[in-house]
Structure formats: C-alpha cells, structure tokens
Amino acid sequence: MGVPVPTSLGIPAQYKGHRAAEHLKPKGVFGVEKQMNTFWIRYAERLDAKAAQIAEELKLIHVRNNDQPLVLLCWCDLGDRNGWCHRRMAASWLEEHTKVSVPELGTCLPVNLYPNSTSDGSRQETMF
C-alpha cells in the first residue's frame, strides 16, 4: 500500500513505523489556531518556509524504502475539527507545489499507488 509517513505532532505509542516528516508537522500552529482559514494560512506559511527541507525529507524516505509510494498519516480527531485536518492541507500543498496527485485513500477508489503510470497508460510526473 505504501510507506506510512506521520505528519502529526503527537504519535500514538503503539505506532512503530517511521518517525519522519518533521517539516510537515504543524509546529507552532496546531493547538494555537482554532479557525480553519487562519490555521491554513499559518500552516501554509510554515510549509512554504520549509519547502526545501520537506522535499529532501520525503525524497529520503522514498529512496530508503525502495521508491514505494508514501502515505501521509495523522491521528486528528476530525469530530473536534469539523472534518478538517492538517494532513489533507499538507497533501493539498504538496499537490500545488509538485503537481503530483496526493489522493485521499479510501474515498477515491481506485487509487493509483504507482504515480508513474495512470489508468489510461499515460505517464504522470513524480515528486522525485
């Protein structure tokens, strides 16, 4: 399915996967900004400032895992946030900055886990 990449500030103790994607975490924004629009503006500013580090970090994870697709994770309580989450915001930011689709798994089937090819046989650029 892909390599799990946490984007949360807090990671459950039972999670034993990667401890990466430090620059995608909403440090200084999560728990401070309660309104989605304000949160998004501040989080996007943070992502913009860390763009080079984010690209380097994700590429390293990708390469270390035999070029498997990456799957962004978080543990947000969507009930507390009216259905919005920084992980989806990070995915949108990545799509905008890399022109690579970052689908929401489980809501847009079938999901192309191999972004170099599409269902019609054409090629899609990858982030790396």
Domain count, the chain: 1
- List the domain range (segments joined by +) for residue 93: 3-98
Digit-coded pLDDT (tens) for 45-83: 999 999 999 999 999 988 999 998 888 888 877 666 566
Instruction: Tell me if 33 is assigned to some domain.
Output: yes
Q: Taking the complete model, does pTM exceed 0.85, yes or no?
A: no
- 69 in a domain, yes or no? yes
Within 8 A by CB and 6+ apart from 27, the residues are 9, 46
Note whether residue 105 is domain-resident.
Answer: no
Q: What is the pLDDT of residues 76-109, one digit of tens each?
A: 776 665 667 888 889 999 999 888 888 777 654 4
DSSP string of 24-88, one letter each residue: GS-TTTTTT--SHHHHHHHHHHHHHHTHHHHHHHHHHHHHHTTTPPEEEE----TTTTTT--HHH
B/e letters for 82-102, b = 16+ CB within 10 Å, e = fewer, are: eeebbbbbbbebbeeebeeeb
